[in-house]
Structure 1
Amino acid sequence: MVQEICKDVLFLARKSEPATPDDLPVAADLLETLKAHADGCVGMAANMIGVAKRIIAFDDEGVYRVLFNPEIVKKSGPYEAEEGCLSLTGTRKTKRWKSIKVKYQDEQFRQRFKTWNGWSAQIIQHEIDHCEGIII
């Protein structure tokens, strides 16, 4: 179900809890909400729909993906970016990495590792910041 976008900065600044298989319905809502905002949004974290769990959804070059408990384990190629967010007004400058290796769990909660580059890597970094309570 499409959820309302959370704009409560105090809630967004809280660190999210680890996701469990009980959170699969949250992931479905997150993905549906992201798709409903596809005209102006490429990624979302669960706290953006009011659930403080480590779940992100994003458009990975035309394929929607959901990652549970994502964590960046390797990064290279720092650069400065300017980003906006549905939960916040305006844009902000931030440091990002051109290439990241992410440890995460899939929908069956199997541990996976994958390296992303470029735009997808930037989206993932923004959403992981949300999970950490970092407001960008």
Structure 2
Amino acid sequence: MFGRKVAFDADLNHRVESMLAEAGKEELLPIVQMGEPVLRQQAQPYKGQLAAKTLNRLLKAMRATMLEAPGVGLAAPQVGLGLAIAVIEDHIRDDEDDPRQIDELPFRVIINPSYEPIGQETASFYEGCLSLEGFQAVRRRWLDITASWEDRSGRKHRQRMHGWPARIFQHETDHLSGEVYIDKAEIRSLSSDDNLSEYWAYDPVPTEAAEELGFTI
């Protein structure tokens, strides 16, 4: 459980229920885009503000919205809610030699997440964001982290993450502190999805992109 002092918020619960009702049978929530204040605000720690039924419906809708986008993570601020809640999920691609070290990441609800780097090794790859549609940029991130979070029942978890799953966890956790990946990206690497596909997608390591666009990795 989320501590002894459960902070149920009737007004917030009603707001979320209204959002879910508007989402319809498909349970797809609108994803807010850059410029929305909620994306730049510190999310409130989740302490049980929602009824369990409402929380479960919200998490189900967030997962449906993430998969439909499609994406591999979605934070509550991205659907307009300033709560420290996110969902993540990704699956192994066909290319076993992918240098991004993509690994199976089963669906997870991460509540009040945080992370700490393990060692000093980093990796730089293109990544995007559902709240900045149509663009991607190279972002340097920790290669290995210790990830901590609570699940929907309030149970605490702590796990070592490596490679692409670690990148996803960092990306979504950063959203909850008002940070968007572009804040610390190599800004000269910024590419439209179309140009990324045409010029740089053939090699996940952005070496040639760095040379041609004038940034370092």
The 1-side partners of 2:82 and 2:168 are apart by: 19
Alpha-carbon contact 1:26-1:46 (below 8 Å) kept: no
Question: 1:34-78: CA deviations, max 9, x gaps?
Answer: 1222xx311111111111111111114252111100000343321
The 2-side partners of 1:75 and 1:17 are apart by: 26
Sequence identity, in percent? 28
The 2-side partners of 1:15 and 1:52 are apart by: 7
The 1-side partners of 2:137 and 2:42 are apart by: 20
Letter aligned with residue 87 of structure 1: S
Out of 8, 17, 33, the position equivalent to 2:44 is: 17
Question: 1:72-101: CA deviations, max 9, x gaps?
Answer: 034332122321111104122322111111
Higher share in helix: 2
**Structure with greater contact order relative to length (CA < 8 Å, sep ≥ 6):** 1
The higher radius of gyration belongs to 2
Which secondary structure does the structure 1 equivalent of 2:172 belong to?
A: helix
The equivalences for 1:106-125 within 5 A come to 106-125=151-170
Higher share in strand: 1
The equivalences for 1:1-136 within 5 A come to 1-9=27-35, 10-23=37-50, 24=55, 25-37=57-69, 40-60=70-90, 61=104, 63-76=106-119, 77-89=121-133, 90-136=135-181
Between 24-33 and 50-59, the greater mean CA deviation after superposition: 24-33
| Unaligned residue ranges in structure 1 (runs of 5+) | none
Letter aligned with residue 43 of structure 2: S
Alpha-carbon contact 1:31-1:66 (below 8 Å) kept: no
Alpha-carbon RMSD: 1.7
| Unaligned residue ranges in structure 2 (runs of 5+) | 1-26, 91-103, 182-217
Alpha-carbon contact 2:76-2:86 (below 8 Å) kept: yes
Alpha-carbon contact 1:99-1:116 (below 8 Å) kept: yes
Count of residues in Structure 1 that have an aligned counterpart in Structure 2: 134
TM-score, length-normalised on structure 1? 0.87
Q: Structure 1 residues 97 and 41 mapped into 2: Cα distance closer, same or farther (>3 Å)?
A: same
